[in-house]
Amino acid sequence: MAQIRIENVRKEFGAFTAVQSSTFTIEDGEFFMLLGPSGCGKTTTLRMMAGLELPTSGEIYIDGEEVGQRPASQRDIAFVFQMFALYPHMNVGGNISYPLRSQGMSKADAETKVREVARILGIEDILSKPVGGLSGGDRQRVALGRAIVRDPKAFFMDEPLGALDAEFREHMSEELRALHNRMRATTVYVTHDQLEAMQMGDKIVVMNHGVVEQFGVPQEIYDWPATMFVAKFLGSPSMNFLTFQGNVAPNDSAVLVGDARLTIPTVRETGSGQLTLGFRPEHVTLEDDAPIRGRVLASEYLGTTQIVTLTTAFGEVKARVPSDRVVPIDVTTGIRPDPRSVTLFDTQSGRALR
What is the contact surface with ligand ATP in residues (CB under 6 A)? 13, 16, 18, 36, 38-44, 192
Closest CA to 296 of 304, 255, 288: 288
Nearer to ligand ATP, 192 or 320 (CB): 192
Between CA 45 and CA 51 the distance in angstroms is 10
Between CA 261 and CA 333 the distance in angstroms is 17
Nearest-CB residue to ligand ATP?
43
CB of 81 to ligand ATP, least distance (A): 12
CB of 337 to ligand ATP, least distance (A): 32
CB of 235 to ligand ATP, least distance (A): 20
CB of 39 to ligand ATP, least distance (A): 4
Nearer to ligand ATP, 18 or 255 (CB): 18
CB of 17 to ligand ATP, least distance (A): 9
Residues 6+ apart with CB under 8 A from 133: none
CB of 41 to ligand ATP, least distance (A): 4
CB of 201 to ligand ATP, least distance (A): 16
Closest CA to 56 of 106, 102, 95, 20: 20
Nearer to ligand ATP, 41 or 145 (CB): 41
Nearer to ligand ATP, 18 or 239 (CB): 18
String of DSSP letters for 47-93: HHHHTSS--SEEEEEETTEE-TTS-GGGS-EEEE-SS----TTSBHH
Other beta carbons within 10 angstroms of residue 101's beta carbon come to: 14
CB of 192 to ligand ATP, least distance (A): 5
Could you give the residue ranges of the DSSP H alpha helices within the chain? Answer: 42-50, 92-102, 107-121, 136-148, 166-183, 194-200, 218-223, 228-233
CB of 34 to ligand ATP, least distance (A): 8
Exposure letters 160-169 (e unless 16+ CB within 10 A, then b): bbeebeeeeb
Query: Could you tell me the CA-to-CA distances from 26 to 63, 245, 349 in Å, in that order?
Result: 10, 40, 28
Between CA 230 and CA 224 the distance in angstroms is 9
Residues 6+ apart with CB under 8 A from 318: 237, 240, 281, 307, 308, 309, 310
Nearer to ligand ATP, 13 or 81 (CB): 13
Nearer to ligand ATP, 143 or 207 (CB): 207
DSSP reduced 3-state for 207: strand
CB of 256 to ligand ATP, least distance (A): 40
Nearer to ligand ATP, 97 or 227 (CB): 227
Nearer to ligand ATP, 67 or 190 (CB): 190
For residue 282, what is the DSSP state?
G
Nearer to ligand ATP, 39 or 58 (CB): 39
Nearer to ligand ATP, 14 or 328 (CB): 14
**Helix 92-102 vs helix 107-121: crossing angle, to nearest 10:** 130
Torsion of CA 207, 344, 221, 161, to 10 degrees: -50
